Structure 1
Amino acid sequence: MLPLATFPNLFPGFAGPLEIIWWVLLGIKLVALLDAAFRPRAVFVAADKLTKPGWVLILAVFTLSQIFQGWLSFFGLIGIVAAGVYLVDARPALRAAAGRGRGGWGAIRRRRGPRPL
């Protein structure tokens, strides 16, 4: 007889769907933390965003809170919002200030000088 297609059978090593969500959210928070940690301090000033130590401290505290308290705790939920704000708002501004912005659809293009005729 074939075993039923239950979650532990389909995804071995994970106890349930909430554990997968926990790992995905931890990965998002770690990506935001590492990105903030490896950016130069001057880029934060040039982009007119919160300082580098401020972002690194906020993201580190909320990443650790997920590890020790879980993602459904008060600080875990605030950490999801903080990582989202960094990745959606601050990171594109930092990339543009560093001169490494994307040049495709949705890119911020600033013209210098008068508009050509």
Structure 2
Amino acid sequence: MLPLATFPTLLHGFANPIDVIWWVLLGLKLVALLDAAFRPRAVFVAADKLTKPGWVLILATFTLSHIFQSWLSFFGLIGIVAAGVYLVDARPALRAAAGRGRGGWGAIRRRRGPRPL
């Protein structure tokens, strides 16, 4: 008889909740790293935040430490804080400095010109 296909047997990286937390935190760090890497350098200066090479170096170092060490290590915990600070503090300021803050895809915009009938 064939063994029952369960979630841990289908995807080997998700056997217990600690593995799921590891993947979620790695995704969080990768999102922060990729966002910092693809922003223009001038936006960091305009937002009066740490420079782009500084953020990319910090986030890349802690993302690699997350892969090669445990996320519960000293560098792993500092990396979680660094990615959180970037996503909560720096990213909204960078979006606002680039002209995309608070007026994103779903924002209500004022019409210019006469009102439609």
Under a length normalisation based on structure 2, what TM-score does the superposition of the two structures give? 0.79
**Residues 43 and 16 (structure 1), Cα distance of their counterparts in 2 relative to 1, 3 Å cut:** same
Q: C-alpha separation between the residues in 1 aligned to 2:54 and 2:113?
A: 35
- Give, in angstroms, the shift of residue 95 of structure 1: 0.2
Q: In 2, Cα distance between the equivalents of 1:53 and 1:13? A: 32
Cα distance change on mapping 1:25 and 1:13 into 2, 3 Å: closer
Cα distance, 1:48–1:114 mapped onto 2, change above 3 Å: farther
Q: d(CA) in 2 for partners of 1:75 and 1:116?
A: 58
- Structure 1 residue runs of 4 or more that deviate by more than 6 Å after TM superposition: 1-7, 9-12, 104-117
Percent of aligned positions that are identical: 91
8 Å CA contact 2:71–2:77 kept in 1: the answer is yes
Aligned length: 117
Call closer, same or farther: CA 1:68–1:3 in 2, change over 3 Å: same
Q: Which runs of 5+ in 2 are unaligned?
A: none
Distance 1:19 1:13, change over 3 A: closer
Of 7-16 and 37-46, the range deviating more from structure 2: 7-16
Note the residue ranges of structure 1 that are not aligned, 5 or more in a row: none
TM normalised by structure 1 equals 0.79
Query: In the alignment, which residue of structure 2 is the partner of 1:3?
Result: 3
CA distance in 1, matches of 2:11, 2:100: 38
User: For 1:36-73, what per-residue CA distance to the aligned partner results, in whole angstroms no more than 9, with x for missing partners?
Assistant: 00000000000000000000000000000000002101
User: What is the CA distance between 1:16 and its match in structure 2?
Assistant: 0.7
Asked if the contact 1:101–1:107 (Cα under 8 Å) also holds between the matched residues in 2, the reply is no
